[in-house]
Amino acid sequence: MRRKFITNLVLLVFLNLIIKPFWVLGIDMGVLNEVGPVEYGFYYTILNFAFIFQVMLDFGITNFNNRNIAQNNHLLTKYFSSIIVLRFLFAIIYFLVIMLVAYLLDYSPKQFYLLSIIGFNQFLLSFILYLRSNFSALLLFRIDSFISVLDRLILILVCGVLLWGDVTTEPFRIEWFVYAQTASYSLTALIALLLLLPKMNFQGLNWDKVFFYHIVKESFPFALLIFLMSIYGKIDSVLLERLLPETGNLQVGIYASAFRLLDVANNMSGLLFAGLLLPIFAKLIKEKKDLSKMVKLGFTPLFLLSSSVAIIAYFYGSDLMHLMYHQHTSETLQEYNSRIEQTTQVLQILMMVFIATSSTYIFGTLLTANGSLKILNSIALVGVIISLGLNFMLIPNFEALGSAITSFSVQVITGVVQLYFAFKLLNLKFEFSFVLRIIMFVILAVLSAYASRFIDVSWMLQLAVASIMIVVISIALQLLHFGAVLNIIKNEE
């Protein structure tokens, strides 16, 4: 099982290393630079607003399906025929809800128009994730890996032409970005569906009220968890726009600029690990096998990566932000420098959030596989209360920085509590020597990054030196152990 995890993780990370960084740091960042932080902030707020209610498109079915199909492969055909019908019913409910809430929030006609398209895009994304859950549950990780990057690959081609292909005389518009997403997600969903159908004996859609009731009842805890986590994970930008009527879109643009690197990190590691680990954890739990080795195998590289990225962002955040974002035609040099300074402060906090969310990707996924949804929902509810309280307190005075502080506080608290319950309920054991090496790694990595700033070379070379030193430290402490990984790949089934 560990061999399957490692080999497919390597493939998944390789594909995502090729595609997703270029998407986020090339296309998505290029769109922001082209339309400006205010217009991008307008789009980003609506995107996160639509995302908060995305649970209504899925209702926890994807996680429920992943866990159950992984343990009972023969149920794929039965589940698929009925779940497809149910998902379209949920889509209707989703659109009614987001439009009603948008009306209550007094959204403008332009916001309503963009929300309608983004809402449809969210439906397509949710459908793709459901199709992918079947591939991962069947342990067809190679197909899942391909689908995971396909939509971004198509978007890179389409948006690349629009941004740099000189095919239009008009300035790039944020609406074009949204239209390109619609086309990409539609094509990806179609391809994923065509690849999945041969894996089952599909005989048509099935309208089964009893099964629908069973699925909704079983999925409700998953749905509630996703909804609560969406609130404290995405409400920041919505509240920034609502609580700061004059500067809201700009502050959202600043927050989104800093969040971009966190998004890259999450997509490159945490979300990938969670997708691979959920069916594996579920299978190990069902077979009553020891989980400690598998948890440690997933936790170690993810912690090394997240803590390293956070340390690098702290010491080199300002340089990275100046490199990534240029002065827009609508702002003065003073306004640009102020924006970059604020973005750097937000970045330094958000990248520390990555360490906390990385823990959630391991231990939250483990608790999900164990079916400990009551505990996870209780933790998530506490996270929502803390998030709303801190955001209302901090945003009026600290703007985007206040949202970043809130996000850090919530993720640390929820992450620590999840870790506690995972160890308590599943009898996990990490050796004291392993914990000590983790602590030593963090201390030495911080000192290395700090010392690198005093080398009399360009900041890029300083960053390269710091990164190399951190890798060397992880190898010296035997936290990054290529020999052990190769041994698992060669010898373990």
Taking only the tens of pLDDT, the chain with its 493 residues reads 555 555 555 656 666 667 777 777 788 888 988 988 989 999 999 999 998 998 888 776 776 666 666 666 666 767 777 778 888 888 999 999 999 999 999 999 999 999 999 999 999 998 898 888 777 777 677 787 788 888 888 999 999 898 888 887 788 899 999 999 999 999 999 999 888 888 777 777 777 777 777 777 877 887 888 889 889 888 998 999 999 988 889 999 999 999 888 877 776 665 556 666 777 787 788 888 878 888 888 888 889 989 999 999 999 999 999 999 988 888 889 999 999 999 999 999 999 999 988 888 889 888 988 888 899 999 999 999 999 999 999 999 999 999 999 999 999 999 999 999 999 888 888 889 999 999 999 999 999 999 999 999 999 999 999 999 999 999 999 887 655 444 444 444 4
SS3 372: coil
For 162, 171, 264, 403, the CA distances from 29, given in Å and listed in that order, are 14, 16, 11, 21
pLDDT of residue 446: 97
Nearest-CA neighbor of 304 among 71, 491, 477?
477
pLDDT of residue 487: 47
Cβ contacts of residue 215 below 8 Å, gap of 6+? 61, 64, 79, 82, 83, 86
Q: Residue 376 CA to chain centroid, in angstroms? A: 18
pLDDT of residue 254: 94
Delimit the domains of the chain by residue range: 2-430, 431-493
pLDDT of residue 265: 77
For 19, 63, 75, 197, 201, the CA distances from 81, given in Å and listed in that order, are 32, 17, 10, 11, 10
What is the Cα–Cα distance from 256 to 237, expressed in whole angstroms? 8
**Which one-letter DSSP state was computed for residue 329?**
T
Question: How large is the angle between the packed helices 373-426 and 333-359, nearest 10 degrees?
Answer: 60
CA angle 444, 446, 448 (to 5 degrees): 65
